[in-house]
Every structure is written in structure tokens, then in C-alpha cells.
Amino acid sequence: MLLTTEAFKQNATGAMADAGLQKALARAKPQFAKKRQAAMDKLPEFEALRETAKNIKNHTIANLDFYLETYAAAVEASGGHVHWCATADDARQAVLKICRDAGAKTVTKGKSMVTEEIHLNDYLEANGVTPVETDLGEYILQLRREPPSHIIGPAFHLNREDWEDTFRKVHTDLPADRVFRERRDILTEARGKLRQQFLAADVGITGANFLVAETGSSVIVTNEGNGDLTQTLPRVHVVVTGIEKIVPTIEDTLALLRVLARSATGQDMSVYTTFSTGGRRAGDPDGPQEYHVVLLDNGRSGMVGTPFQDMLRCIRCAACMNHCPVYGAVGGHAYGSTYPGPMGAVLTPMLVGVEAAGQLPNASTFCGKCESVCPVKIPLPNMMRHWRDREFERHLGPPAMRYGLVFWGFFARRPALYRLGTRFMAMGLGFLGAKRGRFSYLAFAGAWTKARDFPAPEGTSFFAQYAARQKAAR
Amino acid sequence: MSREMIIGAVQRGLKRGPLPADQKAMLAGRMARPPRHLIPARGQLDHEARVALFMMYVEREFGTAVRLPGLADVPAAVADYLARQNLAPALVASPHPDLETLPFADTMLNVRFGVSSPRDAVSLTHAFAGIAETGTLMLPSGPTRPTSNNLLPDNALVVLPAAMIFGCYEDAFDLLRAAGGMPRNVMLVTGPSRSADIEQTLELGAHGPRRLHIMIIDGEG
Ligand code: SF4
């Protein structure tokens, strides 16, 4: 997909006018938060587990070189192969070579954000290998040639009518006048279509939620079972994933699993959590003959030792976007990057460069909700602020924002003037807005007031009230 | 090439060269005897409470569970279950010794031992362990446990000895380690397959089984 992050503002405006998308957002948003909270309520240890999860990830990153080498050695000891890939292009080529060596015509794919990140499907297709997405959400997006809009619910921007339309257009071998009475009928049709693909594929590609250094295992977490069929039935299993997925031991993995599903979907545990270690063993009646891991860097190692190092803790649970007011208003596509929401706003500039990622770190109200729900306690708002600073230093912001900030900066550095200015503003706005108590339009803040009202000040500024209270307390 | 580049970049970021030998030994020691982390209280119950919690979570996740006095009761329980679900009395069973010796001859069931094909509607498998804290089954792969049997049939019937229901995942993995380390594949299964991809509405039976029925065996066999 084309990266359109530079156009975030335009995209966001379009998204807010998109009735179908707004319907989907209105349906999904309250559910995400409610389900997570319900899972939280059933596990009094959850807050302590977040701290544990954070510490495990920090320990791993501090020794990442050691654990990567140990992991690779363990994979090879179990008969698997590791392909180290510094860039997206290295990874694409490695996957294609494995497919060619296997004589593969079609490959089935489990859900993998890293293969989205490296645009693997387009590349395989251009080189004569047909990729088939098997996660239901990814499957319909592939048919519609759309990118995912959410890292765990890729098609959540679609409504039922969209599914029916697309299936009618694409599954032309089925009777045109068939009726989809329930959602179940849509599911059954997809299941039937994909069964044929699972059985026909020569290679299965999955992502990984964790890579266990102790055992050389890759771990996938799904609800549908498509990932398991993808890695069990074809002759070759390829895992494509990033170097930050390393975890030292099984025990460390289990601790992270205890916060993953609860943060993501509000389940205590996803339906299938599967550890894969090498290819088929002597006496095994099924499973792939070959097992490969394509281990991608693509900018990740460059985050170590920077203010963005903590982002490597991310376990891709999506809680930050599920609770983000900006994501909730515009959906995932507006971000124009593989990774949307707060985690995407931090990660994308690292992967594609701060120039290309443009306005993303500004796609935040800095309300702090994302950090408060993150299972590995990533200080997302702080990192977005870091990117903002860098962007500002490099004069990448739009002029209105730059001049606005310079103007504000001038007063902010001159407290007396600032206080005087805000007092006049508060008095002025208080006077003008006294009747309704809020403004539905403010000069220079038209875009802001378009979607919400600005509360009218009570007539005095914060500083004036603070000073008055201090005085009264004395 | 890439390998040196990646390791080099990580070390530059960490502002050090390769770890000194004593540090490596310490980390290797941590992996050889992996420390356990915080285990929730609900993962540390006694046997009876564990079985009850396990069953409760299985049902909450849309599976079903029953307790049987002994292995010999399995064939009749299977026949009964299939009849109640209006399913044909035929199934594929994993070639596990506990299943191969079951008295299927006393029933009308048509049983084939081996690896399931897409035509099989029902499978009978043997679980290595159950985990009470989330109602989860541990299904490792191996000669007696084909992975396909956990996935392809629409109805998954599973035999689980009550003595193998543990409080937490850690206990089950310790036992797996003691049994010879990680097999090719270890599935932790919590309920039947599902998807919420269509309008965030839960539908069971996405790609894997639509029904998951667990028979917990209390006696020795
Ligand atoms: S940043 Fe935190 S909340 Fe967001 S996806 Fe990553 S782990 Fe989840």
C-alpha cells in the first residue's frame, strides 16, 4: 500500500465524513474498552503483571544481541533455518527464494503485520507466487485490495454489506442469488473457500507474537485457527517476524501471554496459542518438513539506545488504538501507515523516516489513555512528543503550527506577559461565551471546533485563580 | 552479512561490545533454570478446585466438559454426545495408547485411527494436560498426537485425565520439559475456534472446530 501519512490531515477529514466507517467505529469502540475492563476485573494481579511484562521486555532488550544469537542457535539445533534480514528488501527476497526452492505456486498466509510492513504480497505476486490471506479479516481485505485498518481486527472498518458485496463479486462460481441470512453464512462461505486453499498450498507463511530463545520456538496467537492450519498443512512453514519479538524463556512468554489477550480482545487467553519448534520430527504423522524463520530488522536495531528504545517492548496488542480518541474518530486508514494509532505514530517514523511519517506524531490529544492501558507500559505520549520536537527542529511542521508555536513560545518565556495575555483572553472569551458556556467556532481553531465545542473560560485565567488561592491559603 | 549488521547495530545502541563471558554465563543460567514470574492466585488451587475452575472456564469459552469415572466410559459417552448433536456415529481417533485400547466394539461407532482428512466431521484426541487458570488444553504434537486432528474436524472431542489438570501453564510446561523437551508443535487451546472479524460479532467455528467437548477422566483408566 502507498504510504500516505503526509496526508494525515486530509485523510482524517475524509474519514470523518465517511458514513460507513463512522458506523463501524461507533459499533466497535465502546466494545473494546468494555471487554478489556471486564478481563481486568477478573484478575486482581493484572497491574502487577504489567510491571512484570515491562521488566521482562527491558531485560531482553538490554541483552538483545545475546538472546538473538541464542535463539538462532536453538532454531538451528531443532532443524530449522534462520534468515537474518537487515532490510525489508532482504526479507522479501529471502521469502521468495524459499518459495522458489519449494516450487511453490500458492502460499497461504496467517495474519502477519510484518509481512504487511514489507509489502510481501505485492512482491510475491509480481514474482509469480500467489499469496492467499487466511485470516477472515485479511482475506476480505485481499479481495478488496485494501490495507488493514487495525493491527488485530484488520477489517473492522467494514460493515456486513461490504462483506456480502465483495463475496458476490469474487466468488462467482457460487449461485448469484444466494442469500446471506446471518453473519454465520458469510463465515461459512469463506471457510469453505479457504479450506481448498489450505490443502493446495505448498508453503505457509505466519508471523510470530514471540520467539523463545530457550527453545528456538515461534509462538502465534489466533482465534480462528487459520494460523495453525497455515503452519501445519503445507510442506514448508515460513515465519516472518521482527527481531523485537525475542523473549528469553517459556516462563517469560507465559507472563507476557497473561497480559496479551486480556489487553487485546479482553479474552483471558486467545483460542489458539501455538509454539512451533523446527520441522517434522521422526515419527510425526503430520506437520511441515521444513521450518524457516525470516528475522527482520528494518530500523528496529536503530531504536536501541535512543529515546524510542521502549517502543521495542510493544507486543502489538492494539489496546492503545482501541482506547485512543483520535483513532476512534478517524479509524486506521487515515494514518496511512501499516501501524496505526498511538503505537503506529511512534513506530512509523522509525521505520520509514520522520519526513515520510510527517504529521503522525501529532495525531494525538496527549490524553495519556494509551500509556495507561499499555500492557508493557510504553510511554507513548512522551515518545510522540519526542518526535514532535525532532520534527519541529527540522522545520517539518506546517507553517500555521510553526508560527503558532513560536508565538506561544515568545509569551511562554515571558511569564508576566503570558499572564497578562491569558488574563485578557480569558476575560474576553468569558465575556463573549458567557451565554452559552462554550464556543462552536473559534478563529484560528476552526478545525478543532468543527468536531467539538470549546468551553468558554469562566472569566479568569488559571494563573489568576492559582494566585488567588495561594493568597487565601496563607 | 545481515546477521553481523543487526548484532552490531544492537551493540552500538547498547553502547558496548559483545557481553563478557561471566554475563553470558549468568544469562545462560537464567535460561537453564527459568525463573517463574507472578502466578495469579486462581492458578494455584488444590485439585478439586482446579478441576471445577477448569470446567467453568471451558464452558465460559463456549466449550463443554463432562467428568467420567474411567476411560472405559469414553465410547458410550462419545456415542451419546454424537447422537445428541445429530452427528453420524463416525470419527477419526488419534493413535494414542489410551484411545486405541478403548472398548469401541461395545458401541455402534465407526472409528478410524490415524490423521484426520478434511472429510472427517469428528475427531477424538488425547490431551497432555489441562490448565485451570483459563480452561486451556495443552496439545503437543507427536506420533500419538497428530496436529491436524485438533484442527480439521468440525467437532473436537478430547480425553483429559483429571490428574493432568494443573493450576497454571508453568506446571504443564515443566512436565513437558521432563517428558523430553519441546515437541515440534504445542497447542494451547481455549475453547472452540471463533472469529469476530465480521462486525465485531462473535461467530464460532471459523477455521478450526465449531464444537469442543472435553471428557475429564477421574479414575486410573
Ligand atoms: S504500544 Fe502497548 S498498547 Fe499499543 S500495541 Fe504496543 S503493547 Fe499494545
Q: Between chains, do A286 and B183 touch, taking CB under 8 Å as contact? A: no
Q: Which of A154-163, A268-277, B34-43, B186-195 has the lowest mean pLDDT?
A: A154-163
* Cα distance between residue A16 and residue A241, in whole Å: 33
Residue B180 pLDDT more than 60? yes
Kindly state whether A273 is in contact with chain B, defined as any CB-CB distance less than 8 angstroms: yes
Tens digits of residue pLDDT in B63-103: 999 999 999 999 999 999 999 999 999 999 999 999 999 99
Across the interface, of B6, B148, B209, the residue whose CB is closest to A86 is B6
- pLDDT on residue A421: 59
How far out from the chain centre does Cα A234 lie? 28
How far out from the chain centre does Cα A437 lie? 38
At A35, which amino acid appears?
Answer: K
Measured between its terminal Cα atoms, the distance across chain A in Å is 62
- Domain regions of chain A by residue span: 43-301, 410-473
Across the interface, of B34, B169, B208, the residue whose CB is closest to A224 is B208
Q: Chain A 170-209, CB below 8 Å of chain B: which residues?
A: 183-184, 186-187, 191, 194-195, 198-199
Domain covering A43-301: architecture: 3-Layer(aba) Sandwich (3.40)
- pLDDT on residue A153: 86
Across the interface, of B31, B150, B194, the residue whose CB is closest to A248 is B31
Q: Give chain B positions within 8 Å (CB) of A66.
A: 19, 23-24, 27
Instruction: Fill in the DSSP letter of residue B36.
Output: P
- pLDDT on residue A423: 60
At B107, which amino acid appears?
Answer: T
**pLDDT class for B177, splitting at 50, 70, 90?**
very high
- pLDDT on residue A241: 98
Atom of ligand 1 nearest to the CA of A316: 5
Atom of ligand 1 nearest to the CA of A370: 3
- pLDDT on residue A448: 45
Please name each of the domains of chain B with its CATH number: 44-217 (3.40.50.10420)
| Closest CA–CA distance from residue A346 to any residue of chain B (Å) | 18
Q: What is the ipTM of this complex?
A: 0.97
Mean pLDDT of B146-166: 98
Q: Chain B 101-130, CB below 8 Å of chain A: which residues?
A: 114-115, 118
Tens digits of residue pLDDT in B115-134: 999 899 999 999 999 999 99
How far out from the chain centre does Cα B50 lie? 16
- pLDDT on residue A1: 38
- pLDDT on residue A31: 84
Q: Chain A 87-146, CB below 8 Å of chain B: which residues?
A: 90, 134-137, 140
- Pocket residue to mutate for ligand 1, from A343, A346, A382, most atoms within 8 A of Cβ: A343
- pLDDT on residue A2: 41
Q: Are A134 and A274 in contact (CB under 8 A)?
A: no
- Pocket residue to mutate for ligand 1, from A317, A346, A372, most atoms within 8 A of Cβ: A317
Give the 3-state DSSP-derived string for chain A, with helices as H, strands as E and coil as C: CCCCHHHHHHHHHHHHCCHHHHHHHHHHHHHHHHHHHHHHHCCCCHHHHHHHHHHHHHHHHHCHHHHHHHHHHHHHHCCCEEEEECCHHHHHHHHHHHHHHCCCCEEEECCCHHHHHCCHHHHHHHCCCEEEECCHHHHHHHHHCCCCCCCCCCCCCCCHHHHHHHHHHHCCCCCCCCCCCCHHHHHHHHHHHHHHHHHHCCEEEECCCEEECCCCEEEEEECCCHHHHHHHCCCEEEEEEEHHHEECCHHHHHHHHHHHHHHHCCCCCCCEEEEECCCCCCCCCCCCCEEEEEEECCCCHHHCCCCCHHHHHCCCCCHHHHCCHHHHHHCCHHHCCCCCHHHHHHHHHHHHCHHHHCCHHHCCCCCCHHHHHCCCCCCHHHHHHHHHHHHHHCCCCCHHHHHHHHHHHHHHCCHHHHHHHHHHHHHHHHHHHCCCCEECCCCCCHHHHHHCCEECCCCCCHHHHHHHHHHHHC
Per-10-residue mean pLDDT of chain A, 474 residues long, equals 62 85 83 91 96 98 98 98 97 98 96 94 97 93 90 88 92 90 90 91 97 98 96 97 98 98 95 98 96 97 95 96 90 88 90 76 83 96 86 60 54 59 56 51 49 52 60 61
Q: Chain B 166-195, CB below 8 Å of chain A: which residues?
A: 168-170, 173, 181-195
